Amino acid sequence: MDFTLPKKYQLFRQMVRDFAEQEVRPRAKQVDIVGKPDMEIVRLLGENGLLGIPFPQEYGGSGLGELGYCLLMETMGGVCTSTTTTLGAHIGIGAMAIYLGGSERQKRKYLPDLATGKKIACFALTEAGAGSDAGAIKTRAIRDGDKYVITGAKVYITNGPIADVFSVMAVTDPNLGVRGGVTAFIVEKGTPGLSVSKEEHKMGIRGSATSEIVFDEVVVPSANVLGPVGAGFVNFMATLDTGRLGLGAAGLGCAEAALDLMGRYAAGRSQFGRPIGEKQSIQWLVANTAVEIEALRSLVYRTAWMVDTHQPYTKEAAMCKLYGSEVASRAIDRALQVHGALGYDRDFPIERMWRDARIAEIFEGTNEIQRIVIAGQVLRPYGVRVSP
């Protein structure tokens, strides 16, 4: 086995690092304070070809696959979690739903503009009564000739206030349930009846936009059905697999950044006449973090390889999301402890990182749900049925 990153990916990662340091890091604190995405950053991401990394060049993407996407999320994750969240919602689930489930016509119509940042995507699944239980959605899509009329509301939709293209899941046949009764749709901004309602004021990732989306008899043509009628649940669950892998990569970047801050401070801060890095209590925090980072890196990169070589990866994606979110939270918490009062100060980035990291254990499937997914995959060959 050769674990060397191919040259083109090394060059790509360095390009992303340079962009993140020059354009994103200087604005990260202000993005959090303002509580809104910096659309100039989004524009620059598009201009630099960073909004279509996993998609083939024929659809306006970079053709760097899932490994390239994970390198993007890892690098950006260590600089600004809010911007990384905007990226993930746009690429990893919003546009990815179209790439995975869309027809050739739909891909050629929507992906080029999404890959270049001319349009922003979001993924509209969650409802007030359907979070972990995604199959409990109530939003309805009723067929009327060659069109559908969608009515309902979605909540906690990342990129909702800035989206131009909405990947939406709705019930088309209540009698069939999630296996055949749920369909995915592409809905465009400006469609009559589509509106952005309440914007959320969040503890963390404040620089990403999150809102309720209301569908008041929104009419969409049958040409905007995303995938086969009745296959929406399958489409969206497959999309969430790639999103969860991206979250694992972002968690890796967060943990790496926390370890770097920890190391710098442990070397420069002295107490009792010597650097605190010489204290065993600090060394153990550093060592535990370093071990978890290397384990997570192997998991994320291997899972990206599985995606790019067309292997099943549902279990591994859930592992990436579960382990990545928890490793990131632990690493940042340790970094805060090493920094003491300075880590708790809002003028220093650890306080923001600590707030930002917590959501990763909740969205795109709580970590409790990830454990159920993993257990189901592991126990299935033994004839054990796992359910929530």
Q: What is the mean pLDDT of residues 22-46?
A: 96
Rounded Cα distance between 357 and 256, Å, is 13
Contact in structure between 208 and 35 (CB atoms under 8 Å):
no
| pLDDT of residue 48 exceeding 90 | yes
Tokens of 358: 């917590």
Domain end call among 171, 196, 229: 229
- DSSP helix/strand/coil, 211: strand
Instruction: Give the chain's mean pLDDT.
Output: 96
DSSP H or E stretch at residue 388: none
Contact 256, 78 (CB under 8 A): yes
Q: Are residues 190 and 254 in the same domain?
A: no
2: in domain: no
Burial class (CB in 10 A: 0-12, 13-18, 19+), 360: buried
150 bridge partner residues: 141, 218
Q: Are residues 249 and 294 in the same domain?
A: yes
Boundary residue ending a domain (182, 210, 229): 229
Residue 129 and residue 96 in one domain? no
Same domain, 12 and 71: yes
pLDDT of residue 87: 97
What domain range is 185 assigned to? 122-229
CA 241 to chain centre: 10
What is the spatial distance between Cα 177 and Cα 136, in angstroms, rounded to a whole number?
9
Separation of alpha carbons 51 and 48, rounded Å: 8
Cα atoms found within 13 Å of the Cα of residue 23, Cβ hemisphere only? 19
Within a domain: 304? yes
- Asked if 162 and 222 sit in the same domain, the reply is yes
Q: Give the CATH number of the domain where residue 332 resides.
A: 1.20.140.10
Which CATH number characterizes residue 115's domain? 1.10.540.10
Same-domain pairing of 221 and 240: no
> DSSP of 107-131, one letter per residue?
HHHHHHHHHTTSS-EEEE--BTTBS
Helix-helix angle 232-268:314-339, to 10 degrees: 30
Distance, CA of 309 to CA of 297 (rounded, Å): 18
In a domain, 1, yes or no: no
Residue at 267 is within a domain: yes
Q: What percent of the chain has pLDDT over 90?
A: 96
Report if residue 280 sits inside a domain.
yes
Query: Which pLDDT belongs to residue 223?
Result: 97
97-127: per-residue pLDDT in tens?
A: 999 999 999 999 999 999 999 999 999 999 9
Q: How many domains does the chain have?
A: 3
What pLDDT, in 10s, does the model give residues 218-258?
A: 999 999 999 999 999 999 999 999 999 999 999 999 999 99
Same domain, 260 and 342: yes
pLDDT reported for residue 205: 98
Shared domain for 86 and 193, answered yes or no, is no
pLDDT one-digit tens code per residue, 335-351: 999 999 999 999 999 99
Which of 207, 229, 251 is at the close of a domain? Answer: 229
142: part of which helix (H) or strand (E)?
strand 140-144
Note whether 111 and 127 are same-domain residues: no
Asked if residue 88 belongs to a domain, the reply is yes
* Same domain as 157, residue 82: no
| Mean pLDDT of the 131-137 span | 90
| Cβ neighbourhood burial of 175 (10 Å; 0-12, 13-18, 19+) | exposed
Do residue 354 and residue 241 come from a single domain?
yes
Residue 136 is predicted with a pLDDT of 93
Measure the CA–CA gap between 311 and 305, rounded to whole angstroms.
9
Q: In 3-state terms, what secondary structure has residue 216?
A: strand
Is 387 a residue whose pLDDT tops 90? no
Distance CA 171, CA 225 (A): 12
What is the per-residue pLDDT across 348-371, written as a single tens digit (0 to 9) for each? 999 999 999 999 999 999 999 999
pLDDT confidence of residue 178? 87
Amino acid at the residue 255: A
Residues labelled as active-site residues: 364
Confidence of residue 134 (pLDDT cuts 50, 70, 90): confident
- Are 175 and 298 in the same domain? no
Instruction: Give tens-digit pLDDT for 286-310.
Output: 999 999 999 999 999 999 999 999 9
